[in-house]
Amino acid sequence: MKDFTERSSTPVSSPLSPTPVNDSALRLFELITTSWVSAAVGAAELGIADVMSQTPTPVDQIAKRVGADTDALGRLLRACADLDLVAETSTGVFTLTELGAALRTDSPHSMRGYARWLNSPAERSTMGHLADAVRTGGPVFEAVHGAPVWTYMRAHPESAALFDQGMTDISAQLTRTLSREYDFGDSRLLIDVGGGKGRLLSLILQTHPHLRGVLYDRPEVVDDVDPALTQGALAQRCRVEGGDFLTSVPTGGDTYLLASVIHNWNDEDSTRILTHCRHAMAPQGRVLLAEILMPEEPAAARTAKFMDLSMLVHCDGRQRTRAEFTALLDRSGLRLNRIVPCSGVSVVEAVAA
């Protein structure tokens, strides 16, 4: 009897034959299981990177430091070595790589908060209903959690804190280059609308000593801001205000910055926010939207396209094209002046119409 496990160039038609592995199926398998990769990175929840360094350390010592099972942690680190987050220098002995160091809490490039948020129950359960959002054309967060996303955050402070830290991480890393690559030379008073904990504003003020700043966000957010804004030299050049930008924004600024804010809102609410900025800004003022632009033509802008799906599921927001930003600004009494590409995001610069 023929051994059907033998390799043969002749197709075998017997029903006992194994089905040949298909390249498309393998590729789909890789795509389908990317959630496993995200979960492995999301184990940053354990604080593993915080107790590791470039010094080779046995897994049992790491497990003791983070309060984990030695065998299970070894299996996790073995997988993370394939992601270049750690390196296994000998059996059961690991070091932290440069990439993995960005999962440390104290890293200037830290993405730990974002990894924790994307793997939180609130986030995972929401994205699991993407198909429902596509069927209905609107966000599913309320259907999944019983309240719209911002209402839910106010009622669940632990989730809100995790979300805020995640957004601080991703916004800071995507937008940090605009402090150097956008010309703030003509600005004097910068209002950071929806600026979270103030990490970006702190960086901009440090880079541009002539600037004064106002950090403006929800009261519960600005109760715990970046200490750099409230202590030391920057405290003399910055004030912190709590409020609701759907109702009003601080007046008198010549530059209003909304970094990764407008993509969270539908056109109606975005128009309201931008109109408040238009009415509040000083004569010859400008509004800056730091966003990841959706390309006008099909292109490899993968980040924009998948972030757009996240906006669809969560909050009825969207990533917008240049034409869509132009129309949005027109409805808000503003005019698109130019778009300044930066390393992480683009700055959509608008002036009074």
Positions marked active-site: 263
CA distances, 82 to each of 31, 48, 77, 86, 112 (Å) = 16, 16, 9, 8, 19
Q: Identify how many contiguous H helices and E strands the chain contains and give both numbers.
A: 17, 10
Cβ–Cβ under 8 Å, residues 111 and 169: yes
CB–CB of 219/164 below 8 Å?
Answer: no
Tell which phi-psi region holds residue 295, choosing left (phi > 0), alpha (psi between -120 and 50) or beta. Answer: beta
State the Cα–Cα distance between residues 140 and 149, nearest whole angstrom: 9
The span from the CA of 262 to the CA of 97, in Å, is: 35
Strand segments, DSSP code E, in the chain are: 57-58, 86-90, 93-96, 189-193, 212-217, 238-242, 255-259, 286-291, 334-341, 346-352
State phi, psi for 21 to the nearest 5 degrees: -70, 130
Whether the CA torsion 350, 342, 237, 245 is positive or negative: it is: positive
Residue that the structure tokens 């051994």 belong to: 3
Q: Do 179 and 207 touch, CB atoms closer than 8 A?
A: yes
Q: Name the token pair of 237.
A: 């050049």
